[in-house]
Each structure stands twice: as structure tokens, then as C-alpha cells.
Chains A and B, each alone.
Chain A
């Protein structure tokens, strides 16, 4: 079992839809959770980070962490074609310096 699991997609939605992305993980020591967006042939770009459990909202993006279920999710409201990319979750514990990434979910937002 990989440390971080993520549905690879591809996920296709119409423009304006709400997109739901999620990751599960096995290491209960993870405390710090991040979502990255990666366009083709580019490096990942940080979208949001959350520490421990709870919700966080930033514009059209919302991130949720449920540590009891070892499950994190992200929602994109009013999705746009420019949101078409691969979305990666990443996480780390308080002691290690290594950020562990999920395999990514490919998203296509159709105009």
C-alpha cells in the first residue's frame, strides 16, 4: 500500500461545476497537508495548505482534513477551463522534512 493514495482520473466536468478531489493516507503522523496544481510540463504550484484537521477556504478552493479517517479533500467551485490540470495532494509529519505526494488526479474542465 502506498503512503498516499489518490484517484488518478481523468476527471471531466463541464465549466461551472463543483469539482471534488480527495486523497487517503496511511501515516497517522501526518499533520501538514497541501494541495498543488500542475500544468503539463510545468512544476507543481501550491494552492492551499492546512495544518492538522479542519477546513480552509481560499477563493474558489476549499480544503478539508479528516485525520480520524486519514482523508483529505479539496473542492473547486465554479470550475473554469483554466483549472484543467493535474492536482496533487502532499503531506508531511512534524518531524520529517520529506513531503510525500500522491500520484495526482487529472482534471479536464470542458467549456
Chain B
């Protein structure tokens, strides 16, 4: 399978705990995006990387959220001191270039439930 891979698929945690998600993009893709999606809503942009550089973060991204992409390969998204409002599907997407026909390929997401 050469698609975008996300791990874990599901995560249940208690309020106040830290969680970390991993995304493995399609191997030749240099861009990697993180989105968050809640029920009945479209994906909401969180942040993106070009190679290992984090180039943009959403103003909605609180200081409790941090993302890394060491060596421009896989990426991790960490949420510290989780809150119930963090419950959502966290989607990772990757793409090959910044051309006008850039196409995002999504993984299946990590469903986070904060109790």
C-alpha cells in the first residue's frame, strides 16, 4: 500500500493527558498537511510542511498543539493537556508539489475521543 498511512486509527484518552499521532506520507511527496474534522463539518486546516520546514500554522491552532516532520519524511502531531473539545478526526494529507494542480491525498485519519 503506497497511500498515506496514519497511526493509530483510534485513540481514547482522558482529559489532561498528552497524545501523539503519526503520519507517513506517500514517499515522493514533499508536502504534508494536518487537518481536523468534526462531525458534520469539512476538514479544517491546522498546519503544513514543505519537506522538514513547517511553513504555515492556523491561527486556530493553540499552543497545546505541536507538529514535527524530522528529515522531511513522517510527521507527528502532539496534543498536550487534551480537552474534550479536542475530540475530532485528525487527518493527514500529502502532495507532490505546489503547482496549481496540486492534489491532496488523505490518510484514513486518527479518531480522537477525549473523555
Contact = CB atoms under 8 A, between A and B. Distances in A.
Contact of A44 (B101, B102, B106, B111): B106
Task: Say which size band chain A's interface belongs to.
Answer: 20 to 34
A84 B25 CA distance: 27
A97 interface: yes
Specify which of B44, B91, B104, B109 lies most central, judged by the most chain A CB atoms within 10 Å of its CB: B104
B41 A42 contact: no
A100 B111 contact: no
Interface of A: 4, 6, 8, 31-32, 34, 36, 41-46, 49, 51, 88, 90, 94, 97-104
Specify which of A8, A41, A43, A94 lies most central, judged by the most chain B CB atoms within 10 Å of its CB: A43
Task: Say which size band chain B's interface belongs to.
Answer: 20 to 34
A51 B48 contact: no
Interface in B2-42: 4, 31, 33, 35, 40-42
A44 B4 CA distance: 12
B108 A43 contact: yes
